[in-house]
Amino acid sequence: MSNLYKNAMQARIAKLPHPDTLAPFQNSEDEESEAADSIGALPGSGLGPPAMQVHLHGHSPSISPANNPRHRKPHAPKPEFAPISAAGFFKEAAQVAVPSRALDVRVYHTPAPAVDGTVMVCHHGAGYSGLSFACFAKEVAALSKSECGVLALDARRHGKTTSTDGNDEDLSIGVLVDDFFELLKTIFPDPSHSPTLLLVGHSMGGSVVVQACPRLQEAKYRIAGVAVLDVVEGSALEALPHMHSLLNARPDGFDSLEEAVEWHVSTNTIQNVNSARVSIPAVFKQVDKGPFPYTWRTPLRSTAPYWTSWFKGLSNKFLAARTARILILAGRDRLDKELMIGQMQGKFQQMVVPGVGHMLHEDDPTRIAEIMVEFWRRNERVIVGVKKVGEL
């Protein structure tokens, strides 16, 4: 990376709570704590997979040891599910102060080689963190020969993002979009010298990036495209009435991070063991009191008041985005009527990835990275006068 680009990036990642503007991963306490972070999935179409397809220790959800502390028999942590540091997946991590939102936002970043390159900006789904894109980020770097960067963030009340005023309960879509927009303004304050941004959002994050797109364009940022991962308005809204009963099947906590990783893999919530070992520790916090040493950092039931706001109107806003659009799904039966009509009219590109669940970017990060790198190459290097994929 040139000194010019280093200086530019140092000017963009602003006001960190430590002396380094950009903090490369090191063999330090930060790396150890990174390996000890995690969050889970919201079950249901558009929000997450069914909670208990397989049950630890052969128990059904109603009598699971994790849900019944009196019957729980802690077992020794299994090394094959031990947390893995994110240091091998991103070049740097930082806390970015966003005073206008009263947040210190955790970001994970692998920069593009040039200041005018392209960066995929990734927003996770409900209950997860930016580390759900860790394996994906590594694959993008390899497949693009490091030409395309990746920036992943932890949303408010998720991962290592913290509130500076103690008021971060509101997770409505408007708040999340404002957070995302102001974070990018903080990191890239001058749109004319910002890299081109390719917005990628999983589930809830798909709604955030879709609604942030026109605001970023109005602010003169260059947007190469918008990618939505495994969420469709119609099926997501239909699933909401069933969410609470499905959440009842989730353990309230775990005895160790290894057990938490094992549960996510055993239930097929995440099929890729290595990805789960990186991402799941970030969605848990260690507590001193209570029956479980590790509990969910973002209890999904507490986000229920905001579920409808996340998905209502998503299809129309996605189709109205003035940029290239791609929808990547884990199943063919998830398009609602509005998207079916839009697809027949060629308004967006659709890809279906077989053999994956809702966490498709964790289950098969190589395939998702291949799709996104191809999408980037086709739309970022488009010939003047030729329309982008999915753009009328």
pLDDT tens by residue, 76-129: 889 999 999 999 999 999 999 999 999 999 999 999 987 779 999 999 999 999
In a domain? residue 386: no
Q: Which domain holds residue 245?
A: 3-380
Which candidate, 142, 158, 212, 211, places its Cα nearest to that of 183? 212
Tokens of 297: 């950092």
pLDDT(272) > 50: yes
Burial status of residue 58 (CB atoms within 10 A of its CB: 0-12, 13-18, 19 or more): exposed
What are residue 77's phi and psi, to 5 degrees?
Answer: -55, 140
Tokens of 322: 């003035």
pLDDT tens by residue, 35-49: 333 323 333 344 554
Phi-psi region of 390 (alpha: psi -120 to 50; beta: other; left: phi over 0): left
In a domain? residue 80: yes
Q: Could you give the number of structural domains in the chain?
A: 1
Whether residue 203 lies in the annotated active site: yes
In a domain? residue 388: no
- CATH code assigned at 285: 3.40.50.1820
Proportion of the chain above pLDDT 90, given as a percent: 70
Judged by average pLDDT, the poorest of 186-200, 311-325, 333-347 is 333-347
Catalytic entry in 179, 230, 255, 363: 230
Catalytic entry in 358, 361, 363, 364: 358
For position 22, what pLDDT does the model report? 44
Catalytic entry in 38, 129, 194, 203: 203
Q: Mean pLDDT across the chain, nearest whole number?
A: 83
In a domain? residue 351: yes
In a domain? residue 69: yes
> Is pLDDT larger for residue 339 or for residue 26?
339
In a domain? residue 385: no
For position 108, what pLDDT does the model report? 98
Query: How many residues does this entry show for the chain?
Result: 392
pTM, to two decimals: 0.84
List Cβ neighbours of 134 (8 Å cut-off, separation of 6 or more): 86, 89, 90, 108, 152, 275, 278, 279
CA distance 182 to 188: 10
In a domain? residue 387: no
In a domain? residue 195: yes
pLDDT(381) > 70: no
pLDDT(349) > 60: yes
Whether residue 230 lies in the annotated active site: yes
Q: Are 122 and 209 in contact (CB under 8 A)?
A: no
Helix axes 204-218, 173-187, angle to 10 degrees: 50
For position 163, what pLDDT does the model report? 96
Tokens of 174: 């408007």
CA distance 1 to 112: 9
